[in-house]
Structure 1
Amino acid sequence: MAWLKKLSGAVVALGAAGAVAGWFLSAPVRLDAATVAQLGPGDAARGKRIFYAGGCTSCHAKPGAKGEARLELTGGLELKTPFGTFVPPNISQDAKDGLGAWSEEDFANAMLKGVSPSGEHFYPAFPYASYARMKPSDVADLYAFMKTLPAVAGKAPDHKLGFPFNIRRGIGLWKLLYLSSAPVIALADGASDKVAAGRYLVEGPGHCGECHTPRDFAGGVKKAEWLAGAVAAEGKGIVPNITPGGSAIKDWSEADIANFLETGFTPDFDSVGGAMVDVQRNMAELTADDRAAIAAYLKAVPAHANGYPARKKPAT
């Protein structure tokens, strides 16, 4: 049975080689020197725009916070997903429990690479897969604005994840498949500057595709069905299809979309509801030009059929 021993030895050797390769391939990758050099000192006034485009308060404000309290970014919201429950952390300026001790480079590595100051992968419930498309200068501006926000003590609870999702190192392999700074949609020749600006806001800081695009078995967005709608991350209800092929905004004009983002009212005078309430509140803080750009992009993206199963009609 010498051949069996040799075969077993070969299998063990291949397994060991695969484990070593996986370990190296899954290593956290930080920003290169050229990208770090593009950060610059940052401007807080410009960073305020990026802060609201990114919807930071939606996940990191204390659940139920209103008014100025929404700028106390203590985290704590529970995001229940098929992979477990993720809890956004305290990102206030508290030096112990928040980001107060982070350098600008630390912050940029988190936003663009999903890597913590200690060199660990962040889970992609933090939408760095979208933020990776942001300009380094915008990340620097956001960092400058974050520095103006209050420091609030208090550590958010840990994530509640079972095996194997509690092994952060594996996220490195996920990043190899899904983390890219390239735009999702190739614009048509002659596309306007307004559409290009909308692409940047939607695909980058706005991270609209994180909710409005269906995901595959590993939790990566299906870019071939970009913005086609999806089952809600928490498994209750659906997030609508916002391409020209869906019914949600198919018949809306660019002006209708921009007005909805500003006021929360649809063309037929219905009002925004559900999780979109907080998103719309953030969009209302942007400029009219930003909202018009988002609207122009949404009218220009490829049309797709709904990316979620058809809802069953109630029995009669």
Structure 2
Amino acid sequence: MTFKRIVSGLVIAGVVGGGAFLWLTQPQRLPADVWTAVNAPDLANGERMYHAGGCASCHAAPGAPDDQKNVLAGGLALKSDFGTFHAPNISPDETAGIGQWTLAEFGDAMKQGTGRDGEHLYPSFPYASYAHMTVQDIADLYGYLKTLPASANVAPGHDLPFPFNVRLVLGGWKWLYLDDGPRVELASADDSVKRGQYLVEGPGHCGECHTPRDILGGLKTDQWLAGGPNPEGEGRVPDITPREGGFGSWSAGDIASYLETGFTPDFDSVGGSMVAVQKNMAALSKEDRDAIAAYLKAIPAR
């Protein structure tokens, strides 16, 4: 009888504990007044956030020519150790895209990883970085996306094996990794470095590729921007910290020039998936590229 009571107690404790954990990690939304308090969208700044975030790199149709890059029809396959994710249509189409989404729904996806229907979104959509963005910048981006061409393309769903196809587990992932605090603490930083930190850690989501991940797919922030295995499966993504003998030999001017032109200090050219990133960076202002360079020179070497 005592053994049965112990087992029963453990089962009850497990059920109660599991229920409490699911309650604590359920999809979250920001208060509605967060989004009603924003200013009318600044479309020029929205376009800046669009390029900083590289939206077209993932959400344009695979192989789309340059004149179709702003048609965010979705469909790109993103292969990972957890399965294959497909980028959704985020054009203003009212059926296939986000044409009927409200700003609050869009904002909760960006900052909370919560979908329109209240579901957890997979972090293949880098909301762990977008969570660092200001509410106004997200509102401006939303306004700009509404001006782009609509597409009726229905993107494929994700192709994930069990248990990764169970969205409930994402609440635990968020509990571990969704944090809008700074990725690195800088002892002192001028306005340019602070702007660079915002662009790199937030909309630019540079750490999503340039930072190694743990077994659960979370960023190892103690190795921020120190490089890691290529998520596409071949080679490595480089360390872009100011490490001696590596990226540290580049000056801030070298970095800013590379982001603008695609040429390295030794006249090599950008390659691989960085080609699309560099094109997006080239569309930013000189001040933003300089700020990104200043931040990359200010972070700890790894």
TM-score, normalising length: structure 2? 0.97
- Paired with 1:38 and 1:265, the residues of 2 have a C-alpha distance of 43
Aligned to 2:260: 262
The residue identity in structure 2 corresponding to 1:222 is: K
**Deviation, structure 1 residue 106:** 1.0
Q: 1:261 to 1:172 in 2, by over 3 A?
A: same
Alpha-carbon contact 1:214-1:221 (below 8 Å) kept? yes
Whether 1:207 aligns to 2:210 is no
SS at match of 2:248: coil
The C-alpha deviation readout for 1:23-47, integer Å capped at 9, x for no partner, is 2022101012453244332111110
- Paired with 1:41 and 1:246, the residues of 2 have a C-alpha distance of 46
Aligned to 1:301: 299
Aligned to 2:72: 73
The residue identity in structure 1 corresponding to 2:38 is: L
Alpha-carbon contact 1:79-1:86 (below 8 Å) kept? yes
**Deviation, structure 1 residue 77:** 0.9
TM-score, normalising length: structure 1? 0.93
Structure 1 gap segments, 5+ residues each: 305-316
Alpha-carbon contact 1:231-1:237 (below 8 Å) kept? yes
Alpha-carbon contact 2:35-2:103 (below 8 Å) kept? no
Aligned to 2:283: 285
Aligned to 1:31: 30
Aligned to 2:214: 216
Aligned to 2:142: 143
- Paired with 1:95 and 1:232, the residues of 2 have a C-alpha distance of 35
Aligned to 2:62: 63
Structure 2 gap segments, 5+ residues each: none
The number of equivalent residue pairs is 302
Match of 2:233 among 220, 232, 235: 235
Aligned to 1:107: 106
The C-alpha deviation readout for 1:153-207, integer Å capped at 9, x for no partner, is 0110010001111111211111111111111111223x21100000000000000
Aligned to 1:53: 52
Alpha-carbon contact 1:241-1:247 (below 8 Å) kept? no
**Deviation, structure 1 residue 67:** 1.6
**Deviation, structure 1 residue 19:** 2.0
Q: Which runs of 4+ in 1 moved over 3 A?
A: none
**Deviation, structure 1 residue 237:** 1.1
SS at match of 1:85: strand
**Deviation, structure 1 residue 51:** 0.1
RMSD: 1.2
